Amino acid sequence: MKILRNTATTASIASAAALLAILPACGRAGQPAAGSAPSASTSVTASGKPATHGQSPTTGQSPTTGRSASGAPSPSASAQVLSFRLAYPWHWPNDAAMPGHVSHATAVPPVPELVQIRVGSHPAASGERPYERISFTFTGGFPSYRIEFAGQLVGDPSGKVIPLGGQGVLDIVFTGAQAHTADGTKSSVVSQPAAAIGFQRMTDYAQGGDFEGVLSYGIGVAWPAGHAGQPLAVRAYEEATVAGGQHRYTVAIDIDASSPS
């Protein structure tokens, strides 16, 4: 899925930051290591219009209702939002006519490193359906990624099935990304929730692989009773922030938590 961008003015960035300030956050931000600066641009929705709905993956206040399973520390009050966009609108990502694919042309090396994972449950709000979110925060830039439902999570490169709860799995595969340090000696992730999420749709999660620039995760998904296997809508938001000279790039994946009528 091709990413659309337009040149941002100071006013548009300020407007986006003001919008994010009043929207509840999903989970809490961590304290990852520094990355490179993004280009001076503001991203827009898939239709070419500025994003105006949803909740910032990293900024604002924690939800007053719903649940958050993140153990990460609170975000810095000085964090500045550089861009915020809807990368993939609500849709069934397995639809061949509109697959859940988002591409980025991030220059490597260095390869973007995953430094934080957050999860959160958000109840229905005015003009918004209930949803559950998992957010991945990187250094260096946004990696490309693919989202799709599958019957099971298969390890890469082992090929072994990794058990998860629910009746299926949402596969999230990042390309041009890793979850280990450049020397390969340790994990780059400094903050993440427990594997058991326990939400209505998101049951648990696990890493599928971190091999040769391909980083994958699987989310155990519980379908509504009597509706197993039927299409569930997902969406993806992206947000770039900077605080204390550290640039962060967050991809937030939402699953529709509505009850069927």
DSSP 179: S
Angstrom distances, CA of residue 31 to CA of 77, 114, 185, 199:
13, 12, 20, 25
Comparing CA positions, the residue from 218, 230, 55, 48 lying closest to residue 146 is 218
Residues pairing with 219 in the sheet: 170, 205
Q: Give residue 161's identity as a one-letter amino acid code.
A: V
Angstrom distance (rounded) from CA 120 to CA 81: 20
DSSP-derived letter for residue 96 is: T
CA distance 63 to 57: 12
Torsion, CA 17, CA 18, CA 21, CA 24, rounded to 10 = -100
CATH architecture of 5-256: Sandwich (2.60)
Q: Is the pTM of this model over 0.85?
A: no
Q: What is the DSSP letter of 152?
A: S
User: Percent of the chain beyond pLDDT 90?
Assistant: 60
Instruction: Give the tokens for residue 30.
Output: 């961590």
The helix (H) or strand (E) run that includes residue 18 is helix 10-21
> Would you give the distance in Å from CA 43 to the centre of its chain?
16
Locus of tokens 């299409």: 231
Per-residue pLDDT band for 27 (boundaries 50, 70, 90) equals low
| Least confident residue range of 25-29, 34-38, 179-183 | 34-38
CB 30 within 8 A of CB 115: yes
pLDDT in tens, 116-168: 999 999 999 888 999 999 999 999 999 999 999 999 999 998 999 999 999 99
Q: 160: which 2 tokens? A: 């072994």
CA proximity to 146, closest of 21, 5, 253, 15: 253
227-261 pLDDT, tens digit each? 877 899 999 999 999 999 999 999 999 999 998 76
Contact 189, 70 (CB under 8 A): no
